[in-house]
Amino acid sequence: MRLDIISIFPEYFAPLDVSLIGKARRTGLLDVRVHDLRSWTHDRHRTVDDTPYGGGPGMVMKPEPWGEALDEIAPAGDAVPRLVVPTPSGRPFTQAMAAELAAEDWLLFACGRYEGIDSRVVAEAATRMPVSEVSLGDFVLAGGEVAVLVMTEAIGRLIPGVLGNAESVADDSFAPGAMESLLEGPVFTKPPVWRERAVPEILLSGNHGAIARWRRDEALRRTAAHRPELLGRLDPERLDKHDRKV
């Protein structure tokens, strides 16, 4: 997958050299290119913002540098990227959206700062490429950079070959399947007793059916405690009598 990122703070993306994503880049599974928006300015001060029409606080990102950057990185043609714009006014980013984006060949992230990017930029880009405005949740970040780091990690780990063990994706909280819309329960490793706390005996039993049942019960309990609204999303076809008792 090719991944272009436009930002006025390219330094924010140093973490993409590290760990899973760093390795995916070195092995060629991910082609990440970070661009400084200011390289498409032409004035002495490399200006990227201006005051908002209609008044109000803060500054808005000027359309011209964005237009030139998008034209150069993603010229109109047969192969265009999906433009992803992180903004608190976007559609909620979910595991399902991460999976859809992981299936794309090319993503282009446009990181806004201040009060956002002049709205004509997205409107014009949408005439020549698919656009997704995406929010991480109901809070406000100072800019899209950290949101892009979050999305890149969520998307990158779903690209085949990026994770060592393919099964670790299947078991995730929110992963499609039997445990969909359940939070993952507790996990344990050696030693069997630590500071007088024993690992739940059933996990040492070797009874895989009983272990699966226990894990589902723990996931149900954790979901009820932390995200009760998710229980309403459970597929009734997949609920069994035992689920109702937990």
Closest approach, Cβ 12 to ligand 6GU, in A, equals 12
Question: Do the annotations mark residue 139 as ligand-binding?
Answer: yes
> Is 4 or 218 the residue whose CB approaches ligand 6GU more closely?
4
Question: Do the annotations mark residue 137 as ligand-binding?
Answer: yes
95: nearest Cα among 193, 171, 15: 171
> Is 62 or 221 the residue whose CB approaches ligand 6GU more closely?
62
Which DSSP state fits 199? P
> Is 142 or 166 the residue whose CB approaches ligand 6GU more closely?
142
In the residue annotation, 157 being an active-site residue is answered as yes
Contact predicate 90/116, CB 8 Å: no
Question: What residues line the site for ligand 6GU (CB under 6 A)?
Answer: 86-88, 134-137, 139-141, 143-144, 147
In the residue annotation, 172 being an active-site residue is answered as yes
Closest approach, Cβ 144 to ligand 6GU, in A, equals 5
Q: What letter represents residue 17's amino acid?
A: D
| Rounded Cα distance, 120 and 122, in Å | 6
In the residue annotation, 104 being an active-site residue is answered as no
The DSSP H or E segment spanning 50 is strand 49-50
38: number of Cβ within 10 Å: 16
Catalytic residue (one of 64, 71, 124, 172) = 172
Question: Do the annotations mark residue 13 as ligand-binding?
Answer: no
Q: Where are the beta strands (DSSP E) in 103-215?
A: 106-110, 131-135, 193-194, 197-198
Tokens representing 231 are: 């229980």
Residue number of the CB closest to ligand 6GU reads: 86
Q: Which residues are catalytic?
A: 88, 115, 157, 172
Binding site per annotation, positions for S-adenosyl-L-methionine: 112, 136-141
